[in-house]
């Protein structure tokens, strides 16, 4: 019997050469197609996504299929590589359904491949970048079954799911129901995707309503719950890498700005009151990198430590991203408060991410259970 606190795997927390190469390709694409003025021009539409960018990322670079085995049409890579893609997407707060489709929906479907059923074909479509699937659960959900309002009557689906991220970009909705997991075409009769006004304009939310909608049953009740749990665990774990990338951008940009901005005949970045805050933030970013890499490596290697590694990464990185974005706004002074400067996009993404797939507090509760530090 292993003690609850014993580390069961030796994580590799560095980046491989292949991961560095992938990062360079993604960063170059995003620098070309997802600069701040372009994003600001599109974020107030219901679909801020850029289909050309998605095709380049998902299909040409092959990022959508990183988690999918080669025999199912994917790249046969792992969560470590997907985490690097998410770092870059976080660095640019690009609106793209990567986390929701290429990670959460894909991982949910990967849990069902043993059945050799319809999930396999869907995975092939996702991996090739030919389709986008989204798991129809609230973006704030930390675990499956928190709310499962969709029922099945006479083989059609009835119910409403609120706060679904990237539903507007989805070709297929993966819907957990009282009767297992269903795949539903987003454009099918009886399916309504109603956009909400999101805090984070770079990741649209929608209410999904199913009224007499037909779907394909992918899994029964028990395996559906397990699959959704696996999807959400991967989502939470890799969200930490998005938060890391976001925090890095905020720190880099704040350092750059405070070196150039002069007040009192000095660069404002020379004042200790400011530079200590940025040094503290650097330390948080360095720490977030270790936590995020640990979670990605645990997911990639199937470590028994994965639930703990993911909960630690989320409990830590959520706060770092929010802190970095808040410091970014404050240390930019007045310009940080304007719509034209992109800092607000990062603040909104960071704050929304801190609720996504469970708050830091919810993840700490999970940790309390795993390492046996129970509440009073």
* Residues near other proteins, by CB under 8 A: 5-7, 11-14, 251, 255, 258-259, 266-267, 269-272, 275-276, 278-280, 282-283, 286-291, 293-294, 312, 315-316, 361, 364-365, 367-368, 371-376
How many Cβ atoms from other residues are within 10 Å of residue 186's Cβ? 21
Least CB distance to other proteins at residue 282 (A): 6
Nearer to other proteins by C-beta: 148 or 318? Answer: 318
Least CB distance to other proteins at residue 323 (A): 13
As given in the structure block, the two tokens for residue 47 are 């679909």
Nearer to other proteins by C-beta: 298 or 347? Answer: 298
Spatial separation of the C-alpha atoms in residues 333 and 252, rounded to whole Å: 16
Spatial separation of the C-alpha atoms in residues 236 and 254, rounded to whole Å: 27
Nearer to other proteins by C-beta: 175 or 233? Answer: 233
Nearer to other proteins by C-beta: 36 or 360? Answer: 360
- Choose among 362, 109, 311: nearest CA to 226: 109
Spatial separation of the C-alpha atoms in residues 118 and 32, rounded to whole Å: 37
Nearer to other proteins by C-beta: 51 or 361? Answer: 361
Q: Cα-flanking dihedrals φ and ψ of residue 70, to 5°? A: -60, -35
Least CB distance to other proteins at residue 13 (A): 4
Least CB distance to other proteins at residue 274 (A): 8
Least CB distance to other proteins at residue 231 (A): 24
Least CB distance to other proteins at residue 229 (A): 22
As given in the structure block, the two tokens for residue 343 are 């800092």
Distance from the Cα of residue 206 to its chain's centroid: 16
Burial class (CB in 10 A: 0-12, 13-18, 19+), 357: buried
Q: Cα-flanking dihedrals φ and ψ of residue 131, to 5°? A: -150, 160
Nearer to other proteins by C-beta: 13 or 335? Answer: 13
């Amino acid at each position: 019997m292993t003690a609850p606190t014993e580390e069961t795997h030796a994580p590799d927390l560095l980046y491989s050469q292949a991961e560095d190469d992938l990062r360079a390709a993604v960063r170059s694409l995003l620098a070309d197609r997802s600069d701040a003025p372009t994003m600001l021009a599109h974020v107030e539409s219901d679909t801020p996504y850029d289909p050309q960018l998605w095709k380049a990322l998902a299909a040409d670079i092959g990022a959508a299929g990183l988690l999918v085995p080669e025999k199912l049409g994917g790249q046969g890579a792992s969560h470590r590589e997907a985490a690097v893609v998410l770092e870059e997407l976080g660095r640019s707060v690009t609106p793209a359904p990567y986390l929701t489709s290429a990670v959460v929906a894909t991982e949910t479907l990967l849990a069902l491949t043993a059945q050799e059923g319809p999930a396999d074909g869907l995975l092939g479509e996702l991996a090739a970048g030919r389709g986008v699937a989204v798991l129809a659960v609230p973006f704030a959900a930390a675990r499956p079954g928190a709310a499962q309002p969709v029922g099945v009557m006479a083989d059609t689906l009835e119910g409403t799911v609120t706060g679904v991220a990237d539903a507007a970009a989805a070709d297929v909705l993966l819907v957990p129901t009282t009767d297992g997991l269903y795949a539903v075409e987003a454009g099918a009769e009886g399916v309504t995707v109603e956009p909400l006004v999101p805090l984070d304009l770079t990741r649209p939310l929608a209410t999904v309503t199913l009224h007499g909608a037909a779907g394909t049953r992918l899994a029964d009740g028990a395996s559906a719950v397990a699959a959704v749990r696996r999807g959400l665990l991967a989502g939470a774990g890799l969200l930490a890498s998005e938060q890391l990338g976001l925090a890095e951008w905020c720190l880099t940009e704040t350092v750059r700005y405070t070196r150039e901005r002069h007040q009192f005949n000095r660069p404002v970045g020379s004042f200790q009151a400011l530079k200590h805050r940025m040094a503290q933030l650097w330390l948080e970013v360095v720490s977030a990198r270790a936590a995020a890499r640990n979670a990605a490596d645990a997911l990639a290697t199937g470590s028994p430590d994965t639930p703990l590694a993911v909960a630690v990464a989320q409990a830590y990185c959520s706060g770092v991203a929010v802190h970095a974005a808040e410091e970014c706004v404050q240390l930019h002074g007045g310009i940080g408060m304007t719509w034209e400067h992109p800092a607000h996009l990062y603040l909104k993404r960071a704050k929304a991410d801190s609720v996504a797939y469970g708050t830091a507090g919810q993840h700490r509760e999970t940790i309390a259970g795993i390492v046996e530090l129970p509440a009073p």
